[in-house]
Amino acid sequence: MNAGATHDRASNRRTRQWSALQFQHVGKVFADSRGGQYAATRDVNVSVRRGDFYCLLGPSGCGKSTLLGMVAGFDPPTSGEIVFVGDDAGVEWTSPIFAAGVDRSMIFQDAAEALFPWLDVEENVLFGPRLRAARARGYAGSATRYLHMVGLQDHGHKFPFELSGGMKQRVQIARALIMEPDILLMDEPFAALDAITKRLLQTEMSRIWQETGKTVLYVTHDIVEALILGTRIAVMTSGPEATIRDEIVVDLPRPRRTTDAEFVELVKILEGMLLEEVHKGRRAQGALT
């Protein structure tokens, strides 16, 4: 932090124009089942710029969801900190994340568990505003807007059991967007869907990101998905003590075609990185046994 910077715990960053979300030497240690400690991540340094579609890509178990949970405020870092940074009239400020907040909305992999089965689609979308004691009537127009944005404008009266898996994820997205968060946090939201539905929702998510201009922090282990969606991709090392191996800027036009030569070349590069990390992880596990 610069000498002239301010560092505060205030919740007024919603009224400030932050420029980036930064992981600063972030590490997370958990207690294991034997009374010891397990270091999930170490010395993670990432800067997510406002408006980024930033993908965290890595092998299973490398701490991607752990990082996302810390941004959400579910669990604090063991070391380092995660902060919003901005600039007011030439004075740099930082605002650390200490807890959950309405400036961040999480979209989970299992939409069936995330939605309330006793509420219909529109009521699920309006749950957040009602929880905040906001006037639901004032948000009705927003609910209509976001249901239209995710292609569910004719399904507001339905209950979750009447929806397909892809439709349930669309409800989650609309429910997150109606809160007008600064950042959408997405934890492998399409991983459990069939291949065709998954590809359709990836295309839809790219369109929604372009329409809303939201900052998205997206966790995935799917290389093609990261390249379809991301503006930048952080490749993580294998756990334990996972960190950022490399960052790739994805400067491809949208909609992205998986058969284009540049796309295929990036797939090869990322595939090589991940295979190397998987092999490293297996060798490390073999050395521990």
Taking the CA atoms of 155, 51, 11 and 88 in sequence, report the sign of the dihedral they define: negative
Q: What are phi and psi of 66, to 5 degrees?
A: -60, -45
Q: What is the pLDDT of residue 10?
A: 45
Model confidence over 85-142: pLDDT tens digits?
A: 998 877 889 999 999 988 999 998 888 888 999 999 999 999 888 877 655 556 667 8
Asked if the model's pLDDT at residue 193 lies above 50, the reply is yes
Residue 133 makes CB contacts below 8 A (sequence gap 6+) with none
Q: What is the pLDDT of residue 52?
A: 97
Widest CA span of the chain, in angstroms?
61
What Rg do the C-alpha atoms of the chain give, in angstroms? 20
The domains of the chain are located at: 6-103+181-288, 112-180
> Is the backbone peptide bond immediately before 240 cis, with ω within 30 degrees of 0?
yes
Q: What is the pLDDT of residue 244?
A: 95
Model confidence over 135-162: pLDDT tens digits?
A: 555 666 788 899 999 999 999 999 999 9
Reference 221, options 95, 55, 89; nearest CA is: 55
Asked if the model's pLDDT at residue 3 lies above 50, the reply is no
Q: What is the CATH number of domain 6-103+181-288?
A: 3.40.50.300
Torsion of CA 242, 244, 245, 251, to 10 degrees: 150
